[in-house]
A and B are shown apart, each in its own frame.
Chain A
Amino acid sequence: MKQSPLFALLAEFERVEELRSAAERVRDEGYTQFEAYAPFPVAGLAEAIGFHTVLLPMAVLGGGIFGCVAGFLLQYYVAVIAYPINIGGRPLNSWPAFIPITFETTVLCASLTAVLGMLAFNGLPRPHHPLFAVPAFRRATRDRFFIAVASSDPKFESESTRRFLQGLNPSEVHDVPR
């Protein structure tokens, strides 16, 4: 398969409403490998680019369950097996007393999974990205809105994709080299 010399095509918009409607049209056109960039959170943009979050919530749930079980077993091991002490005649397995720590380890593992999972699924840390080669893209953190359609998209074909993006009335369409 011939590899495209481009990494992506980048459409630049001046207004947030244009970004949202353009994103919906790119999605409806059948593209899947595309990304939207805005300097602030835009309500409804995640839905507009057809973003489905499945992996991270499941990973956080898994992290939480792991923290819950591991936290309880740690206390059980310490209090019952490794170092059993009679404290005021209470049972060695004083499970009500273990609940606060179990809760804390659940939250700890779930939130660590959330932070680390977010970084991992986003491919971070990443010192360089091909989009940085486009000077105009710097304004994505200030006052411009962008949609990048990656050349890895099965529907990507540089000329027809460029014509399609032009049809969305962007202020400009940039080539993003590899």
Chain B
Amino acid sequence: MTRSTTTTATGGPADTGTPTVGRDAPAAKEPVRRAAPRRRGRDGARPWEIWVPLGLYLAFTLVPFYWMLLYAFRPSGTTGLLPWPLTLDHLLRVWNESGFGVYFANSLKVGLVSMVATTVVALAGGYGLARYDFRGKKAFLLAMLCTQFIPGALMLVPLFEIFKTVGLVNSLWSVIVAETVFQLPLSLILLSGFIRNVPRELEEAAWVDGCSRFRGFLVTVLPLLRPGLIAVGSFAFIHSWNHFLFALMFLSDQEKYTVPVGLSYTIGESGSDLGSLAAGGVVAAVPVIIIFALIQRYLVKGLSAGAVKG
């Protein structure tokens, strides 16, 4: 982005101008100065300056998770602060009797199908944006930015009418389509950023070797897009796994519910049975937490790769 170049340009001369003087004079002292900040961290922070705030924030993050696990695995009627004796009763009950097993399968279907659909459509569109100039490109981009201002909650009624017309109400497909559409603009923009970061010359070399445009893309660009695809695909999955309102509106049969819908009804009835609520929460959390654990390394790297050159 222009941002990084302007900062270097504006900040550069001012910063490098004076240090050259200082760097020449105390030449002997320099290694010491360099070594000290490195041991104390990049910005010269002392260990307690990191660990006190970090510890506090970790507590804020983890205590709620622990609280959920505590209720989910502790027998009803006990109030200990350790889930002991450990019981799977709550989990088995919500899975088999409250229907979370069915909700889980539904959510998985919605999540996987809309993940694949979003990624494929966004990949095609992103490639078009990154590698071609065409009439209406700016309008297309502007339109995609504007979609970010459309409140999903406020589209419930017109979307419901559409799905009623095409006979998809109370079908998981209505949710799949709606999630895919709302995920598309950001995924497309993100993927086109990743594609633009792949040097064009790689593709051109493949064409010289006699590859078609499509084959050239498969051979050269696609393997390099792995971090981007992982990021976009898992965003899409997590988003549709988590999203609540469309499923709440479009699905009416209990055996079609997704996990968040099932969970929202459990919240409504939670006055008496906190163990079920917590166990339902565990069912909702496990897939996204696993995916998060797998992709979190890519998360920051992927975003900086997409934004730096962008």
Partners in one complex: no
